[in-house]
Amino acid sequence: MADGPGPQTSKELEEFRSETRAWLEANCPALMRTPMGEDDAVWGGRDWKPKHPEQKQWLDAMASKGWTVPTWPTEYGGGGLSPQENTILQDELRRIKARPALMSFGIWMFGPVLLEYGNEAQKKKYLPQIARGEIRWCQGYSEPGAGSDLAGLQTKCEDKGDHYLINGQKVWTSYANEADWIFCLVRTDTKVKHEGISFILFDMTSPGVETRPIKLISGASPFCETFFTDVKVPKENLVGKLNGGWEIAKRLLMYERTSISAGGFGGGAGALPIEEIAKHYVGVEDGKLEDRDLRARIAAHKMYDKAFALTVRRAQEMAKAGDNVSHMASMFKVAAATMNQEKTELIVEAMGNRALGWSGDGFTKGEILAPRAMLRAKGNSIEGGTTEVNLNVVAKRVLGLRDHQ
Amino acid sequence: MADGPGPQTSKELEEFRSETRAWLEANCPALMRTPMGEDDAVWGGRDWKPKHPEQKQWLDAMASKGWTVPTWPTEYGGGGLSPQENTILQDELRRIKARPALMSFGIWMFGPVLLEYGNEAQKKKYLPQIARGEIRWCQGYSEPGAGSDLAGLQTKCEDKGDHYLINGQKVWTSYANEADWIFCLVRTDTKVKHEGISFILFDMTSPGVETRPIKLISGASPFCETFFTDVKVPKENLVGKLNGGWEIAKRLLMYERTSISAGGFGGGAGALPIEEIAKHYVGVEDGKLEDRDLRARIAAHKMYDKAFALTVRRAQEMAKAGDNVSHMASMFKVAAATMNQEKTELIVEAMGNRALGWSGDGFTKGEILAPRAMLRAKGNSIEGGTTEVNLNVVAKRVLGLRDHQ
Amino acid sequence: MFTLTEEHDMLRDAARAFVQEKMPTAHLRAVRESKPDGFDRALWKEMSDLGWAGILIPEEHGGAALGYVGMGLVLEECGRTLAPSPLHSTALVGASALILGGTAAQKAEWLPKIAAGEAVVALAIDESAHHAPEKIKLDAKGRALTGEKKYVADGHVADLLIVAARDGGAVTLFLVPARADGVTITPLKTLDSRGAADIAFNGAKAEPLGGPELVDQVLDRARIGLAAEMLGQATQAFETTSEYLKTRTQFGQLIGSFQALQHRAAKMFVELELTRSCVLAALAALDENRNDVAEHASLAKARAGETLHLVSNEMVQMHGGIGMTDAADPGLYLKRARVAEALYGSASYHRDRYAALNNF
Amino acid sequence: MFTLTEEHDMLRDAARAFVQEKMPTAHLRAVRESKPDGFDRALWKEMSDLGWAGILIPEEHGGAALGYVGMGLVLEECGRTLAPSPLHSTALVGASALILGGTAAQKAEWLPKIAAGEAVVALAIDESAHHAPEKIKLDAKGRALTGEKKYVADGHVADLLIVAARDGGAVTLFLVPARADGVTITPLKTLDSRGAADIAFNGAKAEPLGGPELVDQVLDRARIGLAAEMLGQATQAFETTSEYLKTRTQFGQLIGSFQALQHRAAKMFVELELTRSCVLAALAALDENRNDVAEHASLAKARAGETLHLVSNEMVQMHGGIGMTDAADPGLYLKRARVAEALYGSASYHRDRYAALNNF
């Protein structure tokens, strides 16, 4: 393994580190270095009202450097950083425990595919808005009859000469009721399946767009049903070729899986390690959890958790060394879902009847969150590609097993 | 649920019980009431040499009453007992801990289908020989290319006018090297699959029959490869219709699954309950197995085991009450295999390094048997229909799920 | 052991017809929205009029004396649709405690009220987050109770409390009217919408009920009855899911035609059949007054818990996104499952107990 | 942490070429039939000549000083074909004990012999059926050993024994030449055909080696090295099985096209990738001299044990009847798997230890 000369010398990188550290020290408000509560995430968008002025201050500072999207090119609002510089930036952000300046499907999913598939006008128009958190995007993918079988989608997009006309229904649109624009898969040819899909963008305030939040078993409503009735969309809003959307869709799904797995799923009451929760609710005898059966299962889970974290790190090191690790995305998605479901179930079990509350004063706030986190986690093996679909992908693309012939 | 009058009054049945008890007391030799060792099973057959004279004495006594096959009609060597009488006989045999007088694939599998599908001449000829243990049968089913997909068998059977000519190869023929006759599936039409199979019988001493024992991972060789080269078979040895063998084959498989599940798999070192083995090798602390993780898993296994035994009993009671329980055969096969594999693995784990011996004086006889029983048990989910095939059967026939259309 | 009498068959058929018609899952949704008690008192009266509240109660006290197998069949049918009512706490647990341990006067006072659906009874056992009857501390010296009980099922609606407490050495049961002085009931809003209560006792006057062995006897009945309800839940969850597999299409195929799902469904079927045997055997063991009731109770509760856990998770997963919505049924089964799994001892608790009962 | 050096890559490639050519599974079969030692001394000499016996040993004592990552890579390759040799007992465990705890004289005496493949070393730890270093009783008062050791890997062929014993309070390690007076070695015929020994000590004279913390250090190295070998076994068992799924036909289809098998194969792949990370991280932790070696060792050994258990069982099942025959490879992997799972602590042992290391 030759140590070829990198694009930057280690001296240059060290300089970047000290400059970055100084800048962060000067520009990250104190409040933005404290732990985040449930509602403290900043998603930006036209209607965003900061909960604290520091949120806006921090977002604007980061956006001014292009550091909400550090590796995007500077001409599109990015920071233009090299991978090494970005690693340093992330290190330094972690060091001061800075909150994310901006959460965004535009950053995680839409931006990367637009960089690859968009035309120059589209990139110029949309990417800087994403980087600055001005426009909040949502994803129009699943439909009632097209979940795992995404390519079975039916939302119709007709060419009306000077515009497209869209009719149909999407479901599981995350935060559609709070989003400004949507990136959307539509059917532009009904005679073929995968080859009849296009990737299109439009404003959620367009006439004919309606959203209806879906109440989940956990009690929350982060998703919507979204209805399109004769929605007119300018022709320049098509990304890539007409009927060429499936390739873009798959690429975007890859970014989605990676971002879900790498970030882990939301933990709910998971701020404390399981074993501390268990010690509190189960009790300890001779230094060991009293329920030895549960203890063994918690230990097995923690080992799985650690093995997963080590594997993420291994994949990162491999990627840095130039290896292709795209085959690992489906594996991470499966493992991350399994792990989060196991964790939230173990917490519920460890808390016994204190995790059986739904609301009210009889339980602490953490006790109320535990079963909701468990319920929420059931979706981890469904959203962003079901575990079944991801196991199919591993079997076929990674292991080379074939379908029935 | 009406309590209709049974075929026999309870007074008659009580008389049968006392007569049976007296007869067994007089006719079951003392040695035949002691626990069986590894090589004490009586399989009968032309070449059988009893290890002890009592074995022959016991077999002859039982055969004289027709009680080796208690429910078969008396004209075919059976006991002609009603189901209630048979239950009483089995009770009384268990009461004195009598060894089985005769083990036989003829009794468990071939006899029942011959009673159903054979013609009068065949029943008269073969069934009494089975009942008396004079002829030992083996089963010619699997082939190297036809395991789970049994109907893919290729052993060719040609009509040569006054006889059939058989060429081909079978595998997994239990004790073929010790059997006198074989019941065998052969291909009599190569143009169709299931409809080209016939069920035929022949003498293993026929010219052109050759057997070769297969050594298993457990070290034992209970199965053979069996080769047929121009074996001539009389035409009257066909059972049922030409090309009508698949129906008979399936019926026989049902008997096989039922006999495997009801009898359980051979236990090897399993004479002692797992927890007693574990107490000996793992140690006890405060009355509990020291390895609490293993203890929880042994408890879970024992509960599964008990649940299985209760389910067998429930099915028996349902059958007795006239319910159709044939849909439970595949379920029992799956559960029995799982259970026996779990049991033998837990024993090996509990015995630690004492279950890692293969031979020699460094280990006790029971210690040597434990890993061999574990290895042998791996076949439980393969033989008599794999677990995969049985799960398919449950999904399709019991749950009504369909194949891809 | 597994044979039902004609009376049992009739009882089950009647229960199924009633529950399916009057208490489908939509009824639970209605109760969740509008009944803070966690059940519908008018329907509970109807159930009592059908004789269910008195299934275990001798005829002399107004009951039908149909035994635990009969009780189990009705609980199973109620489990199928998650029908909320005080049937388990009152007609099974409460009635059992009084029948087994009550004096003639106590029986005469309470059993007719129970059979008539006029008194709701709750058993107060646990004092911490986990089921641990061997650790009960509630003090009953001088027949005055002092201490706390946690998550008492139907404690928020009970008329009569049966309280496990320690009078000197052994733990025994005591009767306390729920509205007596010194009893403070804190209602809980629970995951399964049925409600429960934390209860504090501050010198509440109590009448003793039977001796120390009564605690185990009553708890084992509670466990077995709950296992029967859980069997019904798991069976229905499985059947609803099987139906969905036969109707939902993806990739141009019914999802039930995918072999990976077929095998998972087949394995659930095996688990359900095994669990059914355990539950029926445990109910029969009660009616037959056998000496291995404890073992049967732990077996039934542990296996029902494991099976329901598996099936409720698979129900959500196999329903996909739909299964995550509050508007669909899987969430309701999942929530009730987690409550039932924990009540009267988790599978982990009963594995431990089963091992102890088998001396290892 | 996971990045290999060029030297490591070369070492692994050389090991793979050698093992695949000279020690395929057919070699284990040959050893099983004709070598009561459980390995081939000529091939062990060749392995030593390639420098493997001295991978850990400093250059001044004739070794290559390539560290634990290098050692792990070679052990993994040996695991792939179940290649039998004293590499683990001698080059890893024996060398580690001497390097970490030996005096200058002890090192000078033994390390060159180990590096040259001239001395086989065995670590004698367990005294009962299970790995339990905290319960060691073997008495070392007055530097004379008395007691018994069970199932000492390579104990039947060792020249030098490293023995854990108690001199007064704490357990420490001692050196005893295998042919010394007072040492009685009973060879064992083992499931994996490699052999082992029960060893009795009756006043055998012993030299102390290092202090009490040495026992844990050496055991953790043994566990991590064995986990690397097990990773190789599991990886090859999986790859052989995957290939079989792509060639075996039933019902007119490759069996690997059945979705139920595809999902099981995919899950095994996930387990293998997670286990690989644990093993590599543990080896790196040794080379980096980190303070969390104990946790890494238990993680690697437990996960390698669980993964190998799963994969070895699936290997037999997916091969069907063929998998049950002695002539096919699955049985060989299964047998070695069960031995490796038990040595130096089962998954159950290491779950317990991991929990204890994490204070719960």
- Tokens representing C1 are 């052991």
Task: Please tell me whether residues D170 and D79 are part of one structural domain.
Answer: no
Residue D175's identity, in one-letter code, is: L
3 state DSSP class of A133: coil
| Contact status of C30 with chain A (Cβ, < 8 Å) | no
- Domain end residue (candidates: B247, B276, B304): B247
Q: Helices (H), strands (E): how many in chain D?
A: 11, 9
pLDDT > 90 in chain A, percent: 80
- Tokens representing A265 are 């799923």
Interchain proximity A352–C339, CB inside 8 Å:
no
Task: Please tell me whether residues A309 and A376 are part of one structural domain.
Answer: yes
Best B356, B394, B404 member to test D by mutation, with max D CBs in 10 Å, is: B356
pLDDT tens digits, one per residue of D94-131 = 999 999 999 999 999 999 999 999 999 999 999 999 99
Q: Looking at the domain assignment, is residue D341 inside a domain?
A: yes
**Stretch C311-320: mean pLDDT:** 98
Question: Contact, D159 vs D120, CB < 8 A?
Answer: yes
Q: How many Å apart are CA A319 and CA A84, to the nearest integer?
A: 12
* pLDDT in the model for residue A6: 47
Calculate how close chain D gets to A311, using CA atoms only, in Å. Answer: 5
Question: Contact, A312 vs A332, CB < 8 A?
Answer: yes
* pLDDT in the model for residue D272: 98
Task: Please tell me whether residues A238 and A165 are part of one structural domain.
Answer: yes
Question: Contact, B104 vs B43, CB < 8 A?
Answer: yes
Burial of D179 (0-12, 13-18, 19+ CB in 10 A): exposed
Question: Contact, A200 vs A248, CB < 8 A?
Answer: no
| Contact status of C259 with chain D (Cβ, < 8 Å) | yes
Look over chain A and give the mean of its residue pLDDT values, rounded to a whole number.
Answer: 92
Q: How many Å apart are CA C100 and CA C190, to the nearest integer?
A: 30
pLDDT > 70 in chain B, percent: 95
For residue B353, give the chain D residue with the closest CA.
Answer: D129
Catalytic residue chosen out of the listed positions A85, A143, A256, A342: A256
**Stretch B221-243: mean pLDDT:** 96
Q: Looking at the domain assignment, is residue C44 inside a domain?
A: yes
Q: Looking at the domain assignment, is residue A2 inside a domain?
A: no
Q: How many Å apart are CA D351 and CA C157, to the nearest integer?
A: 44
- Domain end residue (candidates: C168, C189, C210): C210
| Contact status of C330 with chain A (Cβ, < 8 Å) | yes
Residue A98's identity, in one-letter code, is: A
Neighbours of chain A (3+ CB pairs under 8 A): B, C, D
Task: Please tell me whether residues A222 and A299 are part of one structural domain.
Answer: no
Q: Give this prediction's pTM.
A: 0.90
- Domain end residue (candidates: B219, B247, B275): B247
Question: Contact, B349 vs D346, CB < 8 A?
Answer: yes
β-bridge mates for residue A234, sequence order: A163
Give D9's contacts in chain A (Cβ within 8 Å).
1
* pLDDT in the model for residue B4: 38
3 state DSSP class of D210: coil
* pLDDT in the model for residue A272: 81
Q: Looking at the domain assignment, is residue C230 inside a domain?
A: yes
Task: Please tell me whether residues C107 and C176 are part of one structural domain.
Answer: no
Give C313's contacts in chain A (Cβ within 8 Å).
341, 378
> The domain that contains A151 carries what CATH number?
2.40.110.10
Calculate how close chain D gets to C316, using CA atoms only, in Å. Answer: 19
Task: Please tell me whether residues C219 and C275 are part of one structural domain.
Answer: yes
Its domain, for residue A291, covers: 264-398
Confidence tier at A261 by pLDDT (50, 70, 90): low
Q: How many Å apart are CA D159 and CA D181, to the nearest integer?
A: 13
- Domain end residue (candidates: D192, D210, D228): D210
Q: How many domains does chain C have?
A: 3
Task: Please tell me whether residues B79 and B150 are part of one structural domain.
Answer: no
Task: Please tell me whether residues D171 and D253 are part of one structural domain.
Answer: no
Confidence tier at A147 by pLDDT (50, 70, 90): confident
**Stretch D143-166: mean pLDDT:** 97
Q: What DSSP string describes C190-206? A: ETTSS-EEEEEEEEEE-
| Contact status of C2 with chain B (Cβ, < 8 Å) | yes
3 state DSSP class of C150: strand
Q: How many Å apart are CA A382 and CA A140, to the nearest integer?
A: 16
Task: Please tell me whether residues A241 and A319 are part of one structural domain.
Answer: no
State the Cα angle at C171 between C167 and C172, rounded to 5°: 85
User: What part of A 274-313 touches B (C-beta under 8 Å)?
Assistant: 292-293, 295-296
| Contact status of C249 with chain B (Cβ, < 8 Å) | no
Task: Please tell me whether residues B97 and B144 are part of one structural domain.
Answer: no
Question: Contact, A68 vs A133, CB < 8 A?
Answer: yes
Q: How many domains does chain B have?
A: 3
Task: Please tell me whether residues C224 and C299 are part of one structural domain.
Answer: yes
Task: Please tell me whether residues A300 and A392 are part of one structural domain.
Answer: yes
Task: Please tell me whether residues D283 and D229 are part of one structural domain.
Answer: yes
Q: Looking at the domain assignment, is residue B254 inside a domain?
A: no
**Stretch D316-329: mean pLDDT:** 97
User: What part of B 262-281 touches D (C-beta under 8 Å)?
Assistant: 281
* pLDDT in the model for residue B7: 57
* pLDDT in the model for residue B261: 66
Number of cross-chain residue pairs from A and C with Cβ atoms under 8 Å apart = 132
Helix (H) or strand (E) holding D197: strand D196-205
Q: How many Å apart are CA C250 and CA A149, to the nearest integer?
A: 5
Q: Looking at the domain assignment, is residue C1 inside a domain?
A: no
* pLDDT in the model for residue A39: 77
If you count them, how many residues does chain D have? 360
Task: Please tell me whether residues D202 and D309 are part of one structural domain.
Answer: no
Task: Please tell me whether residues D137 and D10 are part of one structural domain.
Answer: no
Residue C296 has pLDDT above 60, yes or no: yes
Q: Looking at the domain assignment, is residue D139 inside a domain?
A: yes
**Stretch C208-225: mean pLDDT:** 95
Residue A221 has pLDDT above 80, yes or no: yes
* pLDDT in the model for residue A263: 52
Its domain, for residue C319, covers: 214-357
Question: Contact, B61 vs B86, CB < 8 A?
Answer: no
Q: How many Å apart are CA D275 and CA D281, to the nearest integer?
A: 10
Residue B256 designated active-site: yes
Q: Looking at the domain assignment, is residue A1 inside a domain?
A: no
- Domain end residue (candidates: A222, A247, A272): A247
Task: Please tell me whether residues B274 and B240 are part of one structural domain.
Answer: no
> The domain that contains D198 carries what CATH number?
2.40.110.10
Helix (H) or strand (E) holding B185: strand B181-187
**Stretch B343-357: mean pLDDT:** 97
Residue B269 has pLDDT above 80, yes or no: no
Interchain proximity C263–B391, CB inside 8 Å:
yes
Number of cross-chain residue pairs from C and D with Cβ atoms under 8 Å apart = 10
β-bridge mates for residue C160, sequence order: C121, C177
Q: Looking at the domain assignment, is residue A254 inside a domain?
A: no
> The domain that contains A99 carries what CATH number?
1.10.540
Q: Looking at the domain assignment, is residue D161 inside a domain?
A: yes
Q: How many Å apart are CA C264 and CA A387, to the nearest integer?
A: 14
- Domain end residue (candidates: C65, C98, C115): C115
Neighbours of chain B (3+ CB pairs under 8 A): A, C, D
Q: How many Å apart are CA A27 and CA A41, to the nearest integer?
A: 19
Task: Please tell me whether residues C295 and C194 are part of one structural domain.
Answer: no
Give D263's contacts in chain C (Cβ within 8 Å).
260
β-bridge mates for residue C145, sequence order: C204
CA B220 centroid distance within chain: 18
Asked which of A401-405, C46-50, C84-88, D77-81 is least confident by mean pLDDT, the reply is A401-405
Q: Looking at the domain assignment, is residue A5 inside a domain?
A: no
* pLDDT in the model for residue B65: 97
Question: Contact, A153 vs A166, CB < 8 A?
Answer: no
> What phi and psi, each to the nearest 5 degrees, are found at residue B156?
-90, 135
> The domain that contains C318 carries what CATH number?
1.20.140.10
Question: Contact, B359 vs D189, CB < 8 A?
Answer: yes
State the Cα angle at C351 between C130 and D359, rounded to 5°: 60
Give C349's contacts in chain A (Cβ within 8 Å).
291
Q: Looking at the domain assignment, is residue D1 inside a domain?
A: no
* pLDDT in the model for residue A7: 57
Confidence tier at B324 by pLDDT (50, 70, 90): confident
Give D257's contacts in chain A (Cβ within 8 Å).
401-405
pLDDT tens digits, one per residue of D261-291 = 999 999 999 999 999 999 999 999 999 999 9
| Contact status of D77 with chain B (Cβ, < 8 Å) | no
Task: Please tell me whether residues B277 and B383 are part of one structural domain.
Answer: yes
Asked which of A202-211, A339-348, B325-334, D310-319 is least confident by mean pLDDT, the reply is B325-334
Task: Please tell me whether residues B230 and B149 are part of one structural domain.
Answer: yes
* pLDDT in the model for residue A48: 95
Task: Please tell me whether residues C92 and C130 are part of one structural domain.
Answer: no
- Tokens representing C9 are 């068959």
**Stretch A355-362: mean pLDDT:** 94
Q: Looking at the domain assignment, is residue C161 inside a domain?
A: yes
HSE (CB half, 13 Å, CA atoms) of C93? 33
Calculate how close chain D gets to A349, using CA atoms only, in Å. Answer: 16
Task: Please tell me whether residues C128 and C250 are part of one structural domain.
Answer: no
Q: How many Å apart are CA A345 and CA A247, to the nearest integer?
A: 37
Q: How many Å apart are CA C50 and CA C46, to the nearest integer?
A: 6
* pLDDT in the model for residue A268: 39
DSSP state of A5: P
Asked which of A311-315, B253-257, C225-229 is least confident by mean pLDDT, the reply is B253-257
Task: Please tell me whether residues A164 and A222 are part of one structural domain.
Answer: yes
Task: Please tell me whether residues B298 and B385 are part of one structural domain.
Answer: yes
Task: Please tell me whether residues C140 and C198 are part of one structural domain.
Answer: yes
User: What part of C 134-193 touches D (C-beta under 8 Å)?
Assistant: none
Whole-angstrom Cα Rg for chain C = 20
Which distant-in-sequence residues (6+ apart) come within 8 Å of A212 by Cβ?
A: A224, A225, A226, A227
pLDDT tens digits, one per residue of B67-123 = 999 999 999 999 999 988 998 999 899 899 999 999 999 999 999 999 999 999 999
Which distant-in-sequence residues (6+ apart) come within 8 Å of B224 by Cβ?
A: B171, B173, B174, B175, B176, B177, B211, B212, B213, B214
